[in-house]
Amino acid sequence: MIISGKELSARLKAEMAEQVKTFPAKYGRVPHLVVILVGDNPASVSYVTGKAKASAEVGIRNTTIRRPESISEAELLGLIAELNADPEVDGILVQLPLPKHIDESKVIEAIDQAKDVDGFHPLNVAALWQKQPCTLPCTPKGIIKMLKAAGVEIAGKRAVVIGRSNIVGLPVSKLLLDANATVTMAHSRTRNLAEVTRQAEILVVAIGRPKFVTADMVSEGTVVIDVGVNRDPETGKLCGDVDFAAIEPKASVITPVPGGVGPMTICCLMENTIECFLRSR
């Protein structure tokens, strides 16, 4: 079975659009998401465009603020301070990566926790690891939604996560653990990686290397979640971290790239924006 994140996210966005329609009468306005894009990295431009498009579909007000690569850290922090103080702004997202001369952690910490729709603020991260209510990071949240929608039972399963980033690997491991999976976190220094991944009943791959996971690394019947967005060096087309054509016949459930995890990430960003809006009412 191929899980279409595109179809699932379209359904969820349609439900959110119905909900958001009721907000002007109840609260006087719709939620407002501000996205800050520094520079013109083509991948970032494309992600930010996707976020604006999804906002329009759901009925969320979207403001995309573009600043040149040369913006100073102080200027960026000043902009965030203004948005924190603005009662008409519910969610703030600074598209990553930022230019080298800007300290990403400082920027993430500067965002008001209540407006941190990415769930990257240290207070949100701490809350996640302490099982306290918090804004969940979008990609891990979307992955759990896909597993649930596909009817995958997580409890008791052996889950292997390849990649240990703050954005995906670490938080998705925690969410799988909270759903009672037995979680192994694998990475570039893991010895005998194929031996580890063959044990997986659920395999989440987030390392950013085209077609890194090959058929010999996956057992029959595995649930495979591919978080990668890469260019295939041979064809120049978008591809995941997983060799989809080779693994799809072995997997019980698999996500495609494009049209898998990516649309679910954006969908969860919409949900987080609504949650931040409602929490502050």
- Determine the Cα–Cα distance for residues 13 and 5; give it in Å rounded to an integer: 12
For ligand GUN, give the closer residue by CB, 29 or 231.
231
Identified binder of ligand GUN from the candidate list 90, 112, 116, 118, rule CB under 6 A: 118
Which residue, chain included where needed, has tokens 């990516």?
Answer: 262
95 is catalytic: yes
232 is catalytic: no
| Catalytic, out of 112, 116, 118, 226 | 118
Which residue, chain included where needed, has tokens 């989809």?
Answer: 244
> Residues 140-179 vs ligand GUN: string with x where CB under 6 A?
---------------------------x------------
Please, what is the minimum distance in Å from the beta carbon of residue 54 to ligand GUN?
Answer: 13
- Determine the Cα–Cα distance for residues 61 and 17; give it in Å rounded to an integer: 12
Closest among 253, 200, 206, 196 to 229, alpha carbons compared: 206
Which residue, chain included where needed, has tokens 């910490």?
Answer: 109
The single-letter code of the amino acid at 145 is K
Closest among 59, 49, 50, 47 to 19, alpha carbons compared: 59
Please, what is the minimum distance in Å from the beta carbon of residue 151 to ligand GUN?
Answer: 26
Please, what is the minimum distance in Å from the beta carbon of residue 111 to ligand GUN?
Answer: 10
Please, what is the minimum distance in Å from the beta carbon of residue 180 to ligand GUN?
Answer: 26
- Determine the Cα–Cα distance for residues 55 and 267; give it in Å rounded to an integer: 9
51 is catalytic: yes
Residue 178 token pair? 């909270």
Taking contact as CB under 6 A, which single stretch among the options 82-90, 92-100, 215-223, 247-255 is the one that binds ligand GUN? 92-100
Q: Catalytic residue positions?
A: 51, 95, 118
Q: Which residues bind ligand GUN (CB under 6 A)?
A: 93-96, 118, 138-139, 167
